[in-house]
Structure 1
Amino acid sequence: MAIQTQAKIPVFDFSNLDLKSGTSPSCSSFSACKDVCNALEKYGCFVVELGKNTLSELHNTMFISIGELFEFPTETKLKVTYDRPFHGYSSFPPFERMMIDNATSKDVTQKLTNIFLPNGNDNYCESANSYVKLTEELDKMVTRMVFENYCVKKYYDSRMESTTYS
């Protein structure tokens, strides 16, 4: 009789790293680079712990707000449009999606806020900007770790220059 076990997604504690610096510790002295790459190779993902309660609150606030966006009438959601295919609002019942192009731009967040909340909501706009900036900083740090681990660090800057966040 075979025993089956479920794989657990790896969890990494990045709470002691400075995300805003835009740099990660050197992979030669930071074993997390290899661990992160192993997790990506084996599972395709991992969980990051940042150790701040406010981040959990920010995460929860964003997911509640995103859920509320989908409760708006279809006519309102259809105002979120872009020239790029599959960006903006689309519906494939029973599924809906909203792809926001260049999400790290405060102007884009403000435009989206104005569509859904024409009377304004500075709280939502600020939370959205904070959440997007945090995820951008995490992406840059993890990407740098991966590039360093595979000895292709020289391509990191050009990759980041061509990256936009949706």
Structure 2
Amino acid sequence: MEGYGCMEVVYDKSSEELSSSVLEALEELFELPQETKMKNVNPKPAHGYMGRLSVLPIHEGLGIEYATDREACEEFTKLMWPEGNPHFCEVVHSYAVMVAQLQKLVVRMLLESYGIRTDKYDAHSDSTTYLMRLLKYRRSKGETNLGFKGHTDKSFVSILHQNQVNGLEVRLNDGEWVYYQPSSSSSFAVIAGDVIMVRHTFNV
């Protein structure tokens, strides 16, 4: 992580069955009418619906804030499916909880590697909230095939899980862009966010 700004984690609690269920749920979500998806409104940048942007024509995304909270997932589900969709809610919430457990494990390992006391970790963990970004990049129809512009995230770490299309590129600390090729369906890309880059401010 320190050398490259990112790392791959193979997490044994991420089953192939759950991964398949999530991808199926996302296909169902993104097949909804545009006007339905646009109901996912949030004043925070990239927290709500993003799509049909002229500069990013193949990108589409929806956010679920506080996704580890069952009620937040239920509210999002009701927004997309007023008649209800309990299977979608269950799958997405279970996935969010699993990824949050992975995030806590990774962050604890990172902080401990710098000698930060356990009570410092507990305070960080207790104050952490989670945003789940559900993303789709359609096949280019003669436009740019750039899904999203190069950027850094404002979080401590970002955890990404992709399907077999494997479109993620990561810029290493030396400036080189590389494609990320997951080694298994249980592989996650863990990327350092802006917050972790100021690690020298921690009181150890």
TM over 0.5: yes
CA distance in 2, matches of 1:72, 1:108: 19
* Aligned CA distance change for structure 1 residues 74 and 51 (closer, same or farther; 3 Å): closer
CA distance in 2, matches of 1:71, 1:51: 29
CA distance in 1, matches of 2:3, 2:30: 34
* Aligned CA distance change for structure 1 residues 50 and 71 (closer, same or farther; 3 Å): same
Structure 2 counterpart of 1:156: 121
Give the TM-score of the pair, scaled to structure 2: 0.56
CA distance in 2, matches of 1:98, 1:123: 18
Cα root mean square deviation, aligned? 1.8
In structure 1, runs of 5+ residues without a counterpart are 1-39
CA distance in 1, matches of 2:77, 2:26: 11
Match of residue 57, structure 1, among 4, 7, 17: 17
Larger relative contact order (Cα-Cα within 8 Å, sequence gap ≥ 6): 2
Structure 2 counterpart of 1:46: 8
Match of residue 68, structure 1, among 28, 33, 40: 28
Once the two structures are superposed, residues 51-96 of structure 1 have per-residue CA deviations (whole angstroms, 9 ceiling, x without a partner) of: 67xx211111112211321221110001111232221101122211
Percent identity between matched residues is: 36
Contact 2:67 2:130 in 1 (8 A): yes
Contact 1:104 1:133 in 2 (8 A): yes
Q: Which runs of 4+ in 1 moved over 6 A?
A: none
Larger radius of gyration: 1
Structure 1 counterpart of 2:175: none
The aligned runs of 1:1-166 (5 Å cut-off) are: 40-43=1-4, 44-50=6-12, 55-91=15-51, 92=53, 93-153=57-117, 154-166=119-131
| 1:141 counterpart letter in structure 2 | L
Higher strand share: 2
Structure 2 counterpart of 1:15: none
In structure 2, runs of 5+ residues without a counterpart are 132-204
- Secondary structure at the counterpart of residue 49 of structure 2: strand
Structure 2 counterpart of 1:25: none
Contact 2:11 2:102 in 1 (8 A): no
